[in-house]
Structure formats: C-alpha cells, structure tokens
Amino acid sequence: MYRVVASRAFRAGAPQKAFGCWCNLSRSAHTLPFATLEADEISGSKPGEVYNLVQGKWTGSSNWSTLLDPLNGEQFIRIAEVGEKEIQPFVESLSKCPKHGLHNPFKSPERYLLYGDISTKAAHMLSLPKVSNFFTRLIQRVSPKSYQQALGEVQVTQKFLENFCGDQVRFLARSFAVPGNHLGQQSHGYRWPYGPVAIITPFNFPLEIPVLQLMGALYMGNKPILKVDSKVSIVMEQMMRLLHYCGLPVEDVDFINSDGKTMNKLLMEANPRMTLFTGSSRVAEKLAVDLKGRVKLEDAGFDWKILGPDVNEVDYVSWVCDQDAYACSGQKCSAQSVLFMHENWSSTSLLSKMKDLADRRKLEDLTVGPVLTFTTEAMLEHMNKLLKVPGSKLLFGGEELKNHSIPSIYGALKPTAIFVPLEEILKDGNYELVTREIFGPFQIVTEYKQDQLPLVLNALERMHAHLTAAVVSNDPLFLQLQLISCQ
C-alpha cells in the first residue's frame, strides 16, 4: 500500500527558459536594463507610471489615479488602477492554474532549478551598487525613511535571494517518509503547492515584504497574484521587471493595482486556494470571514518592551528604545508601542537620553518623515485624549514638524512619548485608548514598582494584538516570568 500525504506549502514557483541578466555597470542608472524610470527624476513634470501585469502582459487601465509626493505634495506618480469591471482577465489567469500548481515534486521538477537560477541572478543584480541605489532611492521616494533604513530593505532582500541560489529551492521542497504498520505500507509527505494564490502587502516595506513572500510562493509551485499598497507599488513593479530580466517567466505572476473593494471582489470571484495578507487587523478580520479561513495573516501589533529591575548600559538601552520606537517614523509592525520601565530606571538618564536621541531626528535626512496612514490632526487628537488621563504627561515631542511641505493627507509629527501611570492604564475607561496602535512616531511610557509586576502582567494579558515584544534584563528569574507571560 502506498499513501501520499500532500503537505501544502505556500511557497510557489514557475520556470521556463532564463534570459541573460548581468548588468553593464558602465551604463548610467536610468539605463539599467530592466528599469523604466529613474527614481530621482520622478516629479510633477515627469511622473512615474505603474502598470499591471496579467497573463504575461503589462497593461494599463481605463482609470489612472495620481499619487502625491509624500514630501512636497506634487502629483508625481500615475497608477493604472484596475476597476471592478476590469478584473476578469485576472480571474481567468488564476483559474488556469490547477490546484497541483505550476510545479511540484512530480510535475516539472526542473522548475525548482530554474528558480535557483533566477534567485542567483536577482541576488547578483541587487548586489550591484547602481541597482541597490536605484531601489533604495525608489523606496525613499514613496515610503520616506533614512537612506540606511531603505538600504537595509534592499540588503535583506538580496541576502534572502542568495539563500535560495543553486539547489536550495529544490532542497526547500524536501519530502519525508514514515514506515507503515505492515509490509508494503509507507506514508510519504510532500511540500505541495496550493496552486492559485493571492498575496497582499502593505506600504511600509515596499520591497522586502512582497519579494520574500512572492518568491517563497513561487519556489514551491504556486501561481500568485500580487497586490502591493498602491502608495508604494512602483517599487515592486520595477522589481518584477528585474525578475523578468533574470528569467522569471512572465506568466508566472500577475501584478495588480486596485483599491481594496476591487481586490476583495477579485478574491471572491477568483477564489484562490490561499491568500497571504499583511496589513491592518480590520481588513484581516474581514478577509478571514470572506475567504472562509483560507487566509494567512500578519496584522496589527501593539508591541511592548519591559525594562527589568537590573539597570545596565543606559546609553545602549536608550538608543535601542529610540530605534525601536521611531525608526521608519514608527511605521513598522514591530515598532515599540509601550515601554514598561522599572522604577530603578527612573533615577537614571534613560528618558533624557531618549529625548535627546529623538530630537536629533530630522526631516532633512528622513530619520523622521511623513506618516502615511495617520494625519497630523489625528495623532495630535489622540495625544490630547491621553493627556486628559489623570497623571499623564508629555515627555517629549507632541508637535507638528517644522518647515515641512508634507501634504495634509499624511502626518508630520515629531517623535512623541506620553507618560501614563500604570494604574490608570488598567482602568476600563482608559485601557482601549492607551493601547490603540498609532502607526507613527508615537509611544506610551509607564513605570512600575517591584510589587506592581502583577499589574504589568495583567496589562500584557489584556492585549490582543501581539506581534513583537522585548524584555530587557539579565536576571534569569525575571526573564523566566516575563517569557512565560509572552506565550
């Protein structure tokens, strides 16, 4: 008896003949062989354009939307937005992919090697200084962050692709066998694709998140449709062109620009066998219902950090707290939302050092910049509500950035910290307000005494949006107690 157990893997793939992919560094940046624009030349007078990809062809749309430059308000990018009446080609494209995928351990196994070759060439391309700088600057144009933060995205993506060069895609599909309970019986498990799948990614990491999720899906034989937040989709559109240049078959991925309502309609009609969504908890909960559970989610996170009773390396801890709360203007799912500070830290220079570090951040080098999902007014309104809580106070920030031209649809706030007493946080009338996630340069700070540790644990237990957490201590007993509470 031979029984096949197909372990489904949301890691896809699609090969064919790979074309040449090596970049001539003697060319100027705007003549990179895959690029259709130059990041630093995009402007109101020379807008960039973002197209859709379906059934192997780049297409426009009957409706072109315009994106405002988040730094100066110019209409600097035109996007071919697919409307509800234009989704049929995308539905048909997904429906052509069978549930056993474009490849699997029994079908077209040579495609695993093809994707190893694509990864090798794409990793090489991203290692070239002109290509790396192109994507770094393009990220900065649409999701303003410091050059080092944007470059970090490119480097992480390049290292990911390096990790899946050569035979590594094939090895990723490793199967297993288990002896049966009588002669002739075995159980085999295979890394099996879903087939037609959808990937929806947010604005804050325009390259890293979609590339890692997309390539993982492709490696294992799936046929994805990819939707990136339209505010930043120009980055991934250019990356798709790079991947095609490195041998990615043009029919293997569909790329769509649309609003949320249109994408929801497409998902309902195309009925992908799995959807991977990264974004807000509100949309995630709707998708979980609409797609009847056929969805993998990474949604919101109100992320906490606890400083234990043992005080060490105040300079370093304050620097890490500043980075965790305010890098990328706080627009990270892992951003520090609340800091629980043991009373022993109150007698140190921690808070003053955090303030000094926050004050160093400036719009000129994008160490602080536009907030793309909250307006300035909305953040200040939230701050004022918090300051009405008894005992709360503004530690630093709390003002609009000076001398900026950020359009009013976005936010422009100095890095901000609000102190709220622990006892007040736990009150029913305050808890929901204090633990509301503000996706910007904004954090809550509180203090606890040694005998108030149960209150801290109670606060953590009541939080429902868990994503990242940190415990700063070298005390093994304290760490054990906190780590148990994280579970």
pLDDT tens for each residue of 247-291: 999 999 999 999 999 999 999 999 999 999 998 888 989 999 999
Tens of pLDDT along 105-151?
999 999 999 999 999 999 999 999 999 999 999 999 999 999 999 99
Q: Dmax over Cα atoms in the chain, in whole Å?
A: 79
- As a whole number, the mean pLDDT across the chain is 91
Residue 20 has pLDDT above 60, yes or no: no
Question: Which of helix, strand or coil describes residue 146?
Answer: coil
Token pair for 399: 């003002």
Query: Residue 464: what pLDDT?
Result: 81
Other beta carbons within 10 angstroms of residue 403's beta carbon come to 6
Tens of pLDDT along 411-427?
999 999 999 999 999 99
4 contacts 191 by C-beta, under 8 angstroms: no
Residue 194 has pLDDT above 50, yes or no: yes
**Confidence tier at 334 by pLDDT (50, 70, 90):** confident
Query: Residue 122: what pLDDT?
Result: 98
Query: Residue 486: what pLDDT?
Result: 59
Q: What is the Cβ-side half-sphere exposure of residue 206, based on CA atoms within 13 angstroms?
A: 29
Token pair for 318: 């304050």
End-to-end CA distance of the chain: 42
Helices and strands (DSSP H and E) totals, the chain: 16, 19
Amino acid identity at 163: N
Beta strands 48-50; 75-81: pairing state: parallel
Distances in Å between the alpha carbon of 139 and those of 128, 246, 293, 424, 465?
A: 17, 21, 33, 40, 27
Residue 480 has pLDDT above 90, yes or no: no
Distance CA 346, CA 107 (A): 63
* Beta strands across the sheet bearing 442-448: 393-396, 416-419, 442-448, 336-342, 303-307, 469-472
Query: Residue 27: what pLDDT?
Result: 38
**Confidence tier at 30 by pLDDT (50, 70, 90):** low
Amino acid identity at 47: P
Tens of pLDDT along 51-72?
999 999 999 999 999 999 999 9
Token pair for 136: 């770094």
| 329: nearest Cα among 374, 387, 268 | 374
Beta strands 75-81; 63-68: pairing state: antiparallel
pTM comes to 0.90
Query: Residue 8: what pLDDT?
Result: 43
| Runs of H (alpha helix) within 305-372 | 314-326, 350-360
Q: State mean pLDDT over 23-38.
A: 67
Residue 229 has pLDDT above 60, yes or no: yes
| Secondary element (H or E) of residue 190 | strand 186-192
| 297: nearest Cα among 228, 224, 200, 207 | 200
- Report the catalytic residues: 298, 333
161 contacts 215 by C-beta, under 8 angstroms: yes
Query: Residue 1: what pLDDT?
Result: 33
Beta strands 48-50; 176-179: pairing state: unpaired
342 contacts 308 by C-beta, under 8 angstroms: yes
Query: Residue 484: what pLDDT?
Result: 61
Distance CA 204, CA 231 (A): 10
φ, ψ (nearest 5 deg) of residue 450? -55, -40
**Confidence tier at 12 by pLDDT (50, 70, 90):** very low
Tens of pLDDT along 437-462?
999 999 999 999 999 999 999 999 99
**Confidence tier at 21 by pLDDT (50, 70, 90):** very low
Tens of pLDDT along 352-392?
999 999 999 999 999 999 999 999 999 999 999 999 999 99
Q: State mean pLDDT over 227-246.
A: 98
